[in-house]
Structure 1
Amino acid sequence: MVLEKALVLSLSFMLLIVGTNSINFIIRNNCPYTIWPATLTGSGPALPSTGFELAHGASYTLAAQPSWSGRIWARSQCTMDGARFVCRSADCGSGQVACNGAGAIPPATLVEFTLNGNGNMDFFDVSLVDGFNLPVRVAPQGCGSTACPVDVNSVCPPELSVRDARGGVIGCKSACLAFNQPQYCCTGAYSTPQTCPPTNYSKFFKAQCPQAYSYAYDDRSSTFTCRSGSTDYVVTFCP
């Protein structure tokens, strides 16, 4: 009996330590409509949810372990199509509200994190490498923020535009997605920073959102850091 009590106390202490060391992602919806945020784990323990509904003005908190890396994005214009859950914008193709390990189907505005444990540096960014669907801001509590706060869809070139059934633009493709050519995708002979400079299309995205990744090698002005374990991260869609 004494041994059992000791094991319970030890387990409770371990859970307390894990809870203390976790990092919170606070997801907020400032869009004037419902969205469905989603997550994809690259490494580390998976987040508690891979997809959920978030009404206008609502927020949802996800606890991550300090070793987590992955992506957060948001889907919109989602409905049930028979037994399947589908979204016109940034769907993950799982057929459910939960993405269950599936990533965003571009175009999608991505928020990317690499958490590196207490005492090290976290890395985070907003990426338009897979195109744009919704504005977003990442605001660590106590560190510098990054964002793509404007509606890129409203000025998207026609050749990059993705439209809904009513003709409204609901996504802006990257040039890589639209044309599948190596100079836009930084592949083949263009697979290094020296051979894959910015194009007119990546410059368009950069002009709209200077802090966001506009193409694969846009590191210098687009990667942000914060001391790991020192902050929670507020991710606001339509800031």
Structure 2
Amino acid sequence: MDRRLLLYGTILTLLAFSFLSEIHSASFKIVNKCRRTIWPGFLSGANTPQLPTTGFSLRSGKSKTVSIPKHWSGRIWGRTLCGEDSTGKFSCTTADCGSGKVECTGSGAKPPATLAEFTLNGDGGLDFYDVSLVDGYNLPMLVVPRGGTGGGCSATGCLVDLNGACPSALRVARENGRGTVACRSACETFADPRFCCSEAYSTPDTCGPSIYSLFFKYACPRAYSYAYDDKTSTYTCASADYMIIFCPSPYTSQKLLGARKDGAQLPLVNKTTMYMASQHASSSGR
């Protein structure tokens, strides 16, 4: 009888540890260092339930922490210049998710949009994450792992405000035509398979960087610039929490992250492009 009770107790203990492991969540701290309010959005990947929070308002200087399930995959982005029309329909000038509400409820960002992409607890128990400009760019973004126990745990992102220096063919202007609010991808702009890595250009051997993707890559060396930019743009960590910062200061971020010595092959930002951030910010009020 004692052995049976001991066996039951052992089984219950193992089940309890398994349950706790399954409900363990990562902490994502979303920080807005932009000069204006932004509206972060979340989209879960295929076969991953949508989060309880899929969109919210975040005023300048504020932050919000969101608990993310252990095996979550999906993307995060920031919407800008948002508001309601006379019927109460909510929409944004950049990265709108088309839900008509502050919550995105399973809808993704309309390009152009800077995206942070995550797959938590993937192969080998590692988190895989990146910041992607494949769908264009609308906001500077920085992803910083905190407390990771494995993998490189490098910071990644695009710290430079590229809107002011965006090639003229890719620019998205304000409704009044004054100023650039986002920078399209070449794929969206020209619908050319060479830029979209589609049709005859759908493999890494046939689709390489273009003059447009190199514009993004030069300014933001660790960010995805086109579909097959994996080798220099995907990062890993294990058992980490994450800080996602919109509009980080390039100089401040470089100073803070310089002490990390994270071992990533590429610098976080090309220092010769930093002036673009302050130049455009002074004219846009971002």
Contact 1:47 1:62 in 2 (8 A): no
Q: 1:59-74 counterparts in 2 under 5 A? A: 59-74=63-78
Tell me the SS of whatever aligns to 1:183: helix
In structure 2, give the amino acid aligned to 1:151. Answer: D
Q: 1:144-183 counterparts in 2 under 5 A? A: 144-166=154-176, 167-183=178-194
In the alignment, which of 54, 69, 74 is matched to residue 58 of structure 2? 54
Cα deviation digits, residues 88-141 of structure 1 (max 9, x gap): 011011100001100000000000000116961100000000000000000001
Equivalent-residue separation in structure 1 for 2:25 and 2:50 (angstroms): 12
Tell me the SS of whatever aligns to 2:144: strand
Tell me the SS of whatever aligns to 1:27: strand
Equivalent-residue separation in structure 1 for 2:119 and 2:175 (angstroms): 37
In structure 1, give the amino acid aligned to 2:41. Answer: A
Q: Shift of residue 18 of structure 1? A: 6.2
How many correspondences in the alignment?
226
Equivalent-residue separation in structure 1 for 2:186 and 2:197 (angstroms): 11
1:105 aligns with 2:116: no
Equivalent-residue separation in structure 1 for 2:44 and 2:131 (angstroms): 16
Corresponding residue for 1:41?
Answer: 44
Contact 1:71 1:113 in 2 (8 A): yes
Equivalent-residue separation in structure 2 for 1:119 and 1:17 (angstroms): 20
Percent of aligned pairs with the same amino acid: 54
In structure 2, give the amino acid aligned to 1:189. Answer: A
In structure 2, give the amino acid aligned to 1:71. Answer: R
In the alignment, which of 217, 222, 229 is matched to residue 206 of structure 1? 217
Higher helix fraction (1 or 2): 2
Q: Shift of residue 20 of structure 1? A: 6.4
In structure 1, give the amino acid aligned to 2:160. Answer: V
Equivalent-residue separation in structure 2 for 1:115 and 1:67 (angstroms): 5
1:138 aligns with 2:159: no
Q: Shift of residue 197 of structure 1? A: 1.0
Equivalent-residue separation in structure 1 for 2:204 and 2:25 (angstroms): 35
The runs of 5 or more residues in structure 1 that have no matched partner are: 1-9
Equivalent-residue separation in structure 1 for 2:123 and 2:28 (angstroms): 16
Q: Shift of residue 59 of structure 1? A: 0.7
Q: Shift of residue 57 of structure 1? A: 0.9
Q: Shift of residue 46 of structure 1? A: 2.5
Corresponding residue for 1:236?
Answer: 245
In structure 1, give the amino acid aligned to 2:90. Answer: F
Relative distance call for 1:50 and 1:201 in structure 2 (3 A) is same
1:94 aligns with 2:99: yes
Relative distance call for 1:145 and 1:196 in structure 2 (3 A) is same
Equivalent-residue separation in structure 2 for 1:155 and 1:79 (angstroms): 27
In structure 2, give the amino acid aligned to 1:23. Answer: A
Q: Shift of residue 238 of structure 1? A: 0.3
Tell me the SS of whatever aligns to 2:213: helix
The runs of 5 or more residues in structure 2 that have no matched partner are: 1-12, 148-152, 249-286
Cα deviation digits, residues 140-190 of structure 1 (max 9, x gap): 014211010000101001100000123210000000000000000000100
Displacement over 6 Å in runs of 4+: none
Task: Normalising by structure 2, report the TM-score.
Answer: 0.75
- How big is the alpha-carbon RMSD for the aligned residues of Structure 1 and Structure 2? 2.0
Higher strand fraction (1 or 2): 1
1:28 aligns with 2:31: yes
Q: Shift of residue 222 of structure 1? A: 0.2
